[in-house]
Each structure stands twice: as structure tokens, then as C-alpha cells.
Amino acid sequence: MLAAACQMFLGKTEAEIAHIALETLEGHQRAIMAHMTVEEIYKDRQKFSEQVFKVASSDLVNMGISVVSYTLKDIHDDQDYLHSLGKARTAQVQKDARIGEAEAKRDAGIREAKAKQEKVSAQYLSEIEMAKAQRDYELKKATYDIEVNTRRAQADLAYQLQVAKTKQQIEEQRVQVQVVERAQQVAVQEQEIARREKELEARVRKPAEAERYRLERLAEAEKSQQIMQAEAEAESVRMRGEAEAFAIGARARAEAEQMAKKAEAFQLYQEAAQLDMLLEKLPQVAEEISGPLTSTKKITLVSSGSGAVGAAKVTGEVLDILSRLPESVERLTGVSISQVNHKPLRTA
């Protein structure tokens, strides 16, 4: 405690230390008063003192100050509410005392009157007068009872009214506290919403904008690359087209030159040139004739009982077709392959 006191109050005057201790006690006192009603503080001062002492002692000990005792010297308010509570209790006691005193005097007077009446009745009146006196006594007694009961009912109603007013005040204070707490909760919620919006801005929106910028740059780069690639492909197609056109032109010129030379040869050699062309195309004709046999997976041969059987039969059929080619060529072109070999060549 000494170390804590040195740390807290070193260099401060005694008045400043007393002021700090007083403010600490007043702060805890206000905190406890917020949880008690006015009637509880006024009627049960011992409970209020104990709670303040319990809470404030631990706090002051941490500051290096030891609280020996804590007592309430007086409780008052600016509106004289507490004084009114005392007046109401005092008035109630005084009223009860006056009612008791009146009842005692009434009973004494009644007894005294009764004694005198009995004395007079015994002396002067008959039994009828005694009955009349008894009747009067009972009527007066009933009147007194009605008055007493009326006052007692009025006192009960006044007490209930005061209780209702006190409860209403307590309820109003409780509602005000709830309104303040609700306003604080709303403020805390608004701060939390603002914090979450900032967090969303930092964690989601800014990274999303950066990602969008990166994607846009990538898209622009890819677009530029595709444009350059398309331009390169177009240039390549153009150059390839020019090369193919040049090749086609060269090939056409070569074929035209070859055809011109063939035409000259045909003019010089005529039938011999025709025969050379026919002989050049005969292998292609034979290939076209035998082509379907190369794609055939299965052949079924039916024998008539004479001639070759099996593969020899197929070969014979192909050779038979080939042997008829000279006749077909002669019918189509008018050139006889067998006779050309026996004719002398004519030159121009």
C-alpha cells in the first residue's frame, strides 16, 4: 500500500489527496445509489453504507489508502422529497395518537354519562327511561363507530395513494434508465456498423477493385496479343496466298509449256504420240479396275465344276478384263495398239 500511495500521490498536497479520495467515494456512492430506490436509501441507511464501504475500500486500497469506516451523516434533497416522507410518517403517528386519545376520552365520557344516567335513572326514572337511555347510548356509539371507521378508511386510502405515487415514480425512473440504455445500445450498434463497413471496404472492395484492374490489364494485353496474332496470321495468309498463287502460276506455265511441247510432239509423231499417251495411262486404268479388289474383305466363289478354282479364278478374271483393254481403247479412240507397232512412223 505504501508503494501504491507513493506512486499515486507523490508530490501532491494533503488537500489534493483528500479531494481524490472524496471523489472516489462519491463516484462509488453514486453508482450504488443508481441501483437503490429513494425509500431504500432513506429507510435502510446501514445497507447503503455497507455497500459503499465494501466497493470503495477495495478501490482505495489499490491507491494506497485504507478506509477505516464509512457512515452517513445526513440524507437530504433539494425538492424536500425525503422530508416529505418523514412528515407523512409523523402525521400518520400523530393521527393515530389523536384517534386513540379521542376514543379514550369518548369511552371515559360514555362511562361517566352512563354512571350519571344510571344514578339519575335509579333515583328518578323508571325502567322505561333506562331503556331510552340505553337506546340513546347505542345510537351514539354507532355514530362514533361510523366516524372511526370512516377515518380509518380515509387513512388506508391515503396510504394506498402514496404507495401508488411512489411506485409510479420508481417506474418512471426505470423507464428513463431503459431509454438511456437503449440509446447507448443504438450508438454501439451504429459504431459496429461503421466498423464493419470500413472492414468490408478494406478486405473486400479494395482487393476487388485491384483484381478488376489486373483483369482489365490482362484483358487489354490479351486483346493486343490477339490483334497482333491476327495481323501476323493475316500477313502469313497473304504471303502464303501470294506464294501459292506464284506456285500455281508457275505450275500452270509449266503445264502449258508441257502441253505445248506435247502438241508439237503430236504434230510430229501423231499416232506414235497417241500410243505413248495410251500406254502411259494403261497402268492407271488397270489400277482403277483392280482397286475394288483391294478393299474387299471377303470373296465367295462358286465353282461350276470346270476351270480354275480359288485365287487363280480371281486372277484369271482380272487378266481377262485387262486383255480386253486394247479393243476398248480402239473403239473409244480409233487407235489400234496391235497395229501401231507394224506401221512406220511419219514425220512432218
Is residue 247 included in any domain, yes or no?
Answer: no
Mean pLDDT score, 192-207: 78
Is residue 58 included in any domain, yes or no?
Answer: yes
Average pLDDT of the chain, as a whole number: 77
pLDDT surpasses 70 at 348: no
Count of domains in the chain? 1
The pLDDT score that the predictor gives to residue 345 is: 45
Is residue 117 included in any domain, yes or no?
Answer: no
- The pTM assigned to this predicted structure is 0.26
The pLDDT score that the predictor gives to residue 347 is: 43
Is residue 26 included in any domain, yes or no?
Answer: yes
Number of Cβ within a 10 Å radius of residue 128:
9
Task: Provide the 8-state DSSP code for 64.
Answer: T
Say how far apart CA 48 and CA 70 lie, in whole Å. 10
Number of Cβ within a 10 Å radius of residue 296:
8
- Per-residue pLDDT tens over the stretch 19-71: 888 888 888 888 888 887 777 777 777 888 888 888 888 888 888 888 787 77
Q: Which domain holds residue 58?
A: 1-73
The pLDDT score that the predictor gives to residue 259 is: 75
CB neighbour class for 90 (10 Å; exposed up to 12, middle 13-18, buried from 19): exposed
64: left (phi over 0), alpha (psi -120 to 50) or beta: left
Is residue 315 included in any domain, yes or no?
Answer: no
pLDDT surpasses 60 at 305: no
Residue 114 binned pLDDT confidence (cut-offs 50, 70, 90): confident
- Per-residue pLDDT tens over the stretch 276-286: 666 676 677 76
Residue carrying the nine cell digits 508439237: 264
Q: How far lies 65's CA from each of 19, 53, 240, 299, in Å?
A: 13, 13, 102, 123
Is residue 38 included in any domain, yes or no?
Answer: yes
pLDDT surpasses 50 at 301: yes
Q: How far lies 59's CA from each of 4, 62, 283, in Å?
A: 12, 5, 122
The domain that contains 24 carries what CATH number?
Answer: 3.30.479.30
Q: Which sign, positive or negative, has the C-alpha torsion 132, 133, 136, 142?
A: negative
Say how far apart CA 134 and CA 128 lie, in whole Å. 10
Is residue 235 included in any domain, yes or no?
Answer: no
The pLDDT score that the predictor gives to residue 7 is: 83
Is residue 238 included in any domain, yes or no?
Answer: no
